Amino acid sequence: MNRSGFTRFVFFLWRLYVIRRLVLFVPLLVGVSFAVFVLIRMAPGNPAYLFAGPTASEETIKAIERDLGLDQAIWVQYARYMQNLAGGDLGVSLVTSQPVLQDLVVRFPATLELITFAMLLIVVILIPLGVLAAIGGNLAGRLSSGYGFLAGSLPDFWWGLMLIFLFYTWLGWAPVPLGRIDFGLEPAYRTGFLTIDALLANDLTAFRSAFSRLLLPGFTLAFIFGAPVLKHLRATMSDGLHAPYIQYAHLCGLPRSLIFRYAFRNAIIPPMTMAGMTYVYLVGAAALVESVFAWGGFGQYAVQAAISSDYMAVSGTVLAAMLFALCVYLILDLVYTVIDPRVRY
Amino acid sequence: MAAIDPVERPDAAEPASRAPDAGGVNAAVVIGGFLAFGSILLAVFGPLIAPYPPMDANPGQQLLAPSGTHWFGTDDVGMDVFSRVIAAPRIDLGIALSATVLALVIGTAIGGIAGYFRTWWSEAIMRISDLIQSFPVFILAMVLVTITGQEIWIVVVVIAFVNVPLYVRLIRAELLSLRERTFVEAAIVLGVPPLRIIRRHLIPNVLGIIINQASITMGVAMLLTAGLSFVGAGVRVPTPEWGLMIATGASSIVTGQWWPSVFPGIALSLSVFGFALFGDGVARMLGSRERGA
């Protein structure tokens, strides 16, 4: 009796989708971190050389290898890494000489602010456009499909450069495309989002500076990566508006606005998945746009880490990106249950 | 067959919603084909017809504006931008095409097997694909290229590697439904060996989808190649490559010299655009033929 009660409790927990996802995430995390670890240690360059600098002697390098544990077998190193990870220690970056976790805490919000702004632009501008394209006839369909092809063909980093040329060099409307805020205006660190921190500190000058820096890279990302969302929404929405249940609703004489809401609620789900995937993808993919605008965020950190085979920093960035992906998908799944009554976990 | 009815019905409703695109099929294929074929021609002949040697730096002629002698101007070390733009497809298209073919062949083979057989290892294949796909693609590609030493063939293998799971997933999803069809049952009854069923009866049925995906991969691969080179994790200077050219031109765009980065960007975009349009058009044509339209 007692035992079956316990089993029921375990099943109850298992059915809590969130927990199931978290449990499944652990082997994934272990697998990925090990893969990254092995891959990076296969690299031809010796991290100890990087650490010691070009003039170091043989003995110094040997000593550093011993210090970093590089002379031990790979699984010993990995075990140690996982052990530290459990305590929240991601190791020390060889390039910045700072703990990787500390580097990430500074840089991740920078990227998050940028890509969240881009996602807001997508939601505010492109989703209404997608709905309009679904209602509009032939021409609207062609325009949105044309925009999809165009945006899919433009390299984002080049598009960012073009916007810089147009709005900074030529028209002089945009601020210098270097960094997230004018020098000396940084508000005190609270959330890491400069716009929010500036508002919290009640510093409107800083807010204006940070916001104006956000505009160009934000539009670059939204323009390029919003296209699939728009294209998808147009397709699902136009299918939805012609679906039998909508025709039935028309026959019943329901008001148009209500019918429209029914159609939209069903049509928004696939594009929302896509938007979530885009959000996750952007964490890494924004690296190119970040380096164009000298954003100093997560993506640029990952680039720098990869290029200088800074193995602790690379493992840390990959883990952080995956953790972020997990959170986004989790939230997305929970939102589905709210929007779509058919979805139950 | 009553069971087929609900499957057929959405198809019957389709012409109404698909009609706007149907008229554009030919134009899309022609324009896309023109651009795609044009960039393939440049990949073959570009370096031969370039007016200047594409890797010759000319110290006296840095950052010259476009003119009659230098159509697209010169870059910051005095290399002729036009010559480099038309020489670059050999690198960009070469990498993208090899990576696409590699990903397509491996992905289709694995996806075909994983879709036809229902065993524990076809399940394992899918989980491994999940693992690869759950990586942030760009970071993964960057790490793989830099740790293996930035050779061109490694860029090819890495781009193929990150794309294989897409094909596996796509082909498997299609085969899962196709393998329940009567013609497959007939083939099994006739004693056709499984691999032959996959190769001769199943894969030809998903050709349209494969072609469409290949054209997308082609574009993605070109953009990825350019992106990797842009951040310094791909092809090295002074190889004529569009992404690298955009990167070297990036510093001078703020001071007003737009030509070293504008032209390679346009060339890259047009080329990707061409392949996407062409693949989409061809897939539509194949699709409408299958539907009997």
Nearest residue of A to residue B134, measured between CA atoms: A322
Direct distance between the N- and C-terminal alpha carbons of chain A, in angstroms, rounded to an integer: 27
Judge if the upstream peptide bond of residue B238 is cis by omega within 30 degrees of 0. Answer: yes
**Half-sphere exposure at residue A51, Cβ-oriented, CA atoms within 13 angstroms:** 22
Considering CB atoms only, which of B140, B227, B280 is closest to A155?
Answer: B227
Cβ–Cβ below 8 Å for B139 and A307: no
Residue A161 to residue B21, Cβ atoms within 8 A: no
* Interface probe, candidates A157, A165, A225, A309, chain B, greatest B C-beta count within 10 A: A157
Mean of pLDDT values over A114-141: 86
Q: Is B80 helix (H, G, I), strand (E, B) or coil?
A: strand
Contacts of B131 in chain A (CB under 8 A): 28, 31-32, 35
Q: What are phi and psi of B79, to 5 degrees?
A: -85, 145
pLDDT recorded at residue B6: 35
Distance from CA of A199 to the nearest CA of B (A): 30
Residues from chain B contacting residue A138 (CB–CB below 8 Å)? 20
Contacts of A144 in chain B (CB under 8 A): none
Contact call for residues A333 and A345 (beta carbons, < 8 A):
yes
Question: Of A68-82, A103-117, A239-253, B193-207, where does mean pLDDT reach its minimum?
Answer: A68-82
- For B20-71, write each residue's pLDDT tens digit: 444 445 777 888 888 888 888 888 887 777 777 777 677 777 766 777 676 7
- In tens, the pLDDT along A197-241 reads 878 888 778 888 888 888 899 999 999 988 888 888 888 888 888
Q: Name the minimum distance, in Å, from the CA of A146 to any CA of chain B.
A: 10
Among chain B residues, the shortest Cα distance to A138 is held by B20
ipTM of the complex: 0.79
- Least confidently predicted of A128-137, A205-214, B134-143: B134-143
Chain B nearest-CA distance from A46, in A, is 11
Structure tokens at B84: 């480099």
Nearest CB among B20, B268, B270 relative to A138 is that of: B20
Q: Do A157 and B246 touch (CB under 8 A)?
A: yes
Which chain B residues have a beta carbon less than 8 Å from that of A149?
273, 276-277, 280
Look over chain A and give the mean of its residue pLDDT values, rounded to a whole number.
80
**Segment of A163-167, A272-276, B280-284 carrying the highest mean pLDDT:** A163-167
- Report residue B209's pLDDT band, with 50, 70 and 90 as the boundaries: confident
Ranking A274-278, B8-12, B48-52, B111-115 by mean pLDDT, the lowest is: B8-12
Q: What is the pLDDT of residue B17?
A: 40
- Closest residue, chain B, to A139 (C-alpha): B20
User: Do residue B146 and residue A44 have CB atoms under 8 angstroms apart?
Assistant: no
On the CB side of B37, CA atoms within 13 Å amount to 7
For an interface test with B, give the residue of A153, A231, A238, A330 to mutate (most B CBs within 10 A): A153
A158 contacts B143? CB cut-off 8 A = no
pLDDT at B98 (0 to 100): 92
Contacts of A167 in chain B (CB under 8 A): none
Q: Which two tokens stand for residue B107?
A: 């992905």
- Across the interface, of A31, A164, A309, the residue whose CB is closest to B146 is A309
pLDDT tens profile A97-108: 788 888 888 888
Q: Which long-range contacts (CB under 8 A, 24 or more apart) does A340-344 make?
A: A340/A265, A340/A266, A340/A269
Q: What are the chain B neighbours of A36 within 8 Å (beta carbons)?
A: 143
The shortest C-alpha distance from A1 to chain B (Å) reads 36
pLDDT of the residue at A116 = 92
- Name the residue type at position B131: L
**Nearest-by-Cβ selection for B135 from A150, A155, A318:** A318
Q: What is the pLDDT of residue B99?
A: 92
Residue A14's pLDDT is what? 56
The per-residue pLDDT for B20 is: 44
pLDDT over 90 at B102, yes or no: yes
- Mutation site for B-interface testing, chosen from A108, A149, A158 by largest number of B Cβ within 10 Å: A158
**What percent of chain A lies above the pLDDT cut of 70?**
86
Distance CA A338, CA B167 (A): 33
Q: Do B147 and A42 touch (CB under 8 A)?
A: yes
CB atoms closer than 10 angstroms to residue A88 = 8
Nearest to A149 among B142, B253, B276 (CB): B276
Q: Which residues of B touch A137 (CB under 8 A)?
A: 20
Sign of CA dihedral A64, A66, A68, A73: positive
b/e sequence A282-293, b meaning 16+ C-beta within 10 Å:
bbbbbbbbbbbb
Chain A CB contacts of B17 below 8 Å: 238-239, 242
Query: With contact defined as beta carbons under 8 Å apart, do A275 and A122 qualify?
Result: yes
Query: B74: which strand partners?
Result: B80
* A34: nearest CA partner in chain B: B131
- Candidate from A40, A142, A153 with C-beta closest to B147: A40
Highest-scoring range by mean pLDDT, A262-271, A331-340, B139-148, B160-169: B160-169
pLDDT of residue A48: 65
